[in-house]
Structure 1
């Protein structure tokens, strides 16, 4: 395969990408382009980027919004009530069908790597067993990591620790935890020790729902970072949400950041969900409730963006489009400077790859030929217009394409509108 007329981030001009045996064999300026016969795509001046990554989603709950009832208040607590109703109807095939539906949406939107949290607070482990099957089935098209997520606690749910370990034995890829949901602070701290112990025994990464609450006294992040630093696990440990950090005072946060940098752990913020679920107990002013993304990035701490939920009781919207996540994230974190917007794609590509521990990721000679072509001149243009993915390519094969849309206005004469600035 040859892909012509590509723009590359950080390089001038148009480029040709050559694929051989499923890998990137060459990147050359179009002036030096080969003219071989065979499969060929025209990038048409579009931007080539690595595949989008979804670092945090719940595929076991997706596609359940309004079943059997809608979340009328939009709150976390009513979402829990509605999910309890829907959870009673779970079956193996139900979980698989819904997960596959959202995976198809993700594939259409250029996502090729997904980390899904799956509820294991269930004596039958119905959702986990279904999702492990989905992981194998979707493998040719998407790399799917499964987090064993103890939704109702490791130590506060009957046999929670045993169910978590059984999930790892069955083949879950990542150890989960939710310390702020345990009955007491002491149990929350102990649950993190248990999660890290399991990760070491099974040689697995850790991804914790950490301090997803507006309580400024919820400080389990410091324990997680300490354990990661103590055991040298930093790059394999992820703190998801950490919305309480939005409410920490400056003095404590300053001290905390020293530990976070030493630990080397990763962070995932989920802007679409964090901005609407947090601050619900506030009058005015209402806090935004998203973690300190701008400050984390400024401190050199790896941070990325995820969805959390798509079309479920906690978030009734969404089409699994990572550019929507990025667009919202840049707004609510006030990262609206030109360079922040132009470089924002890192928050759904490169930074996420570090979080998931991906190897051979990126558009480089010798790497697998996994890439997207966006109909945009640069990262800024892609984010501003939230462009669709023109081509998604995996292993040198076309995985998905979106045909260009055309909008016409009829004024004194018909005129096409593409939402770009007139030259």
Structure 2
């Protein structure tokens, strides 16, 4: 059993009993039975964090073969095009596996990774398929066939995407705004949807990741999803052009997206850095309309996008860091909005991955969870607490002892600083 934990939406402390790697019962503290797996010591137990958008094949390559001097999306793509010439299977496996270790230590046990398939040899994809198998007992890894340099506008793009589907990816990707023309962009989405539907896969497109207010492929993606067989199974990632749409079009778009059932993934760390590079002042935030789309009933999640690569040279694979930056960027500072931001790295992100009953801190669900030294989601985000315990399929895989700060202040005895306050939610 796991004992003495707080639960979101429930008062008091609770014990969690585990049988056959699943949650058997959740009972008031002191009533649980079984061998002790973890003592939460009053910490907050949550379903594990979920990463809905990262590029594991590019992680840990910042500065190779050169730094992205301008910091722009376009130079990042150019630098990666140079770096991928030297890709080897082991290179990708080693870097991706190391970052997955970081994710697991931070309590992220479900990850969706986009993998560049505009490579005739599909070196990175084959490597990531091996990684997916290697980590399956700890981390659930979904792979997206991502055509970084386009489908229609790249030689043999459709054929490479088809090969990726046959290799065994989980999700089909696209990048319509990067295609040569709008017509090519629309056609690329039609090809991606066709492949996804024929192979029974999910769809997740890099969509409108540009500051051009005329980039409006998200309406095409949403309409294809609603009219085809991928309602609730399709995702538009980034959609940063939405930050430049006028009010009248935004109002129409909210209706289109809400009835389509698609998901949106915003990547605040990377896009705050990449977007607005062509602006003087005022500079645009370069984020999707997070608050407005949530209010319209659209599912929105927060992701990393990059961890130490040509597009974003920082990062530790912490979902709580993503949530903190997302709150500031999207102005989600109401207490209910902060709680919603926590959902955007947990159950809202789980909806993006279409996890269903394989996710959640409920009886009969897998015994995978994190325990945070915090009293609430607000507290965890504000203080950026690292999990004291990470449990994957009933196995304790990571522990982080809490380390108090002791302060010596003039004319006072040494005291412990916890960065807490009784008025905090």
Q: TM-score with structure 2 length normalisation?
A: 0.97
Count of equivalent residues? 420
Aligned-pair CA distance for 1:292? 0.3
2:362 aligned to 361, 364, 368, which one?
364
Task: Describe how 1:207-218 pairs up with structure 2 within 5 A.
Answer: 207-218=204-215
The aligned residue for residue 193 of structure 1 is 190
Which residue of 1 is the match for residue 79 of structure 2? 82
- 1:315 corresponds in structure 2 to 312
Give structure 2 stretches of 5+ with no counterpart: none
What's the offset of the Cα at 1:390? 0.8
Residues 145-160 of structure 1 mapped to structure 2, 5 A cutoff: 145-160=142-157
- Taking the aligned partners of 1:24 and 1:290, their CA distance within structure 2 comes to 38
For 1:401, which of 399, 402, 408 is the aligned residue?
Answer: 399
Q: CA deviation at 1:80?
A: 2.4
Whether 1:102 aligns to 2:94 is no
* Alignment-derived partner of residue 413 in structure 1: 413
- What is the CA distance between 1:422 and its match in structure 2? 5.7
| Residues 1:98 and 1:256: Cα distance change in structure 2 (over 3 Å) | same
Partner Cα distance (2:22, 2:354) in 1: 20
Cα distance in 1 between the residues matched to 2:253 and 2:75:
33
Per-residue deviation, residues 333-365 of structure 1 (Å, max 9, x unmatched): 000011111332100000011110002211111
1:13 aligns with 2:6: no
SS in 2 for 1:273: helix
Which of 243, 246, 249 is residue 249 of structure 1 equivalent to?
246
Pick the aligned partner of 1:259 from 249, 256, 268. 256
Q: Tell me, what secondary structure is at the counterpart of 2:406?
A: strand
Cα contact 1:234–1:266 (8 A) shared by 2? no
Q: Is the 8 A contact 1:232 1:263 kept in 2?
A: no
C-alpha distance in 2 between matches for 1:182 and 1:35:
59
Question: Which structure 1 residue ranges, 4+ long, deviate > 3 Å from structure 2?
Answer: none
User: Residues 197 and 229 of structure 2 are in contact (CA less than 8 Å); yes or no, is this contact kept in structure 1?
Assistant: no
Q: What 5-or-longer segments of structure 1 have no aligned partner?
A: none
Q: How far did 1:72 drift?
A: 2.6
- Alignment of 1:297 with 2:278, yes or no, is no
Conservation of the 8 A alpha-carbon contact between 2:66 and 2:79: yes
Q: SS in structure 2 opposite 1:121?
A: coil
For residues 4-403 of structure 1, the aligned pairs below 5 Å read 4-31=3-30, 33-36=31-34, 38-360=35-357, 361-403=359-401
CA distance in 2, matches of 1:80, 1:35: 54
TM-score by length of 1: 0.97
SS of the equivalent of 2:112 reads: strand
Structure 1 range deviating more: 277-286 or 405-414? 405-414
Distance 1:14 1:225 in 2: 43
Q: CA deviation at 1:82?
A: 2.3
SS in 2 for 1:362: coil
Q: Tell me how far 1:84 sits from its aligned partner.
A: 2.5
Alignment partners' CA distance in 1, 2:216 and 2:100: 34
RMSD (Å) for aligned C-alpha atoms: 1.2
> What secondary structure is seen at the aligned counterpart in 1 of 2:26?
strand
Offset of residue 68 of structure 1:
2.5
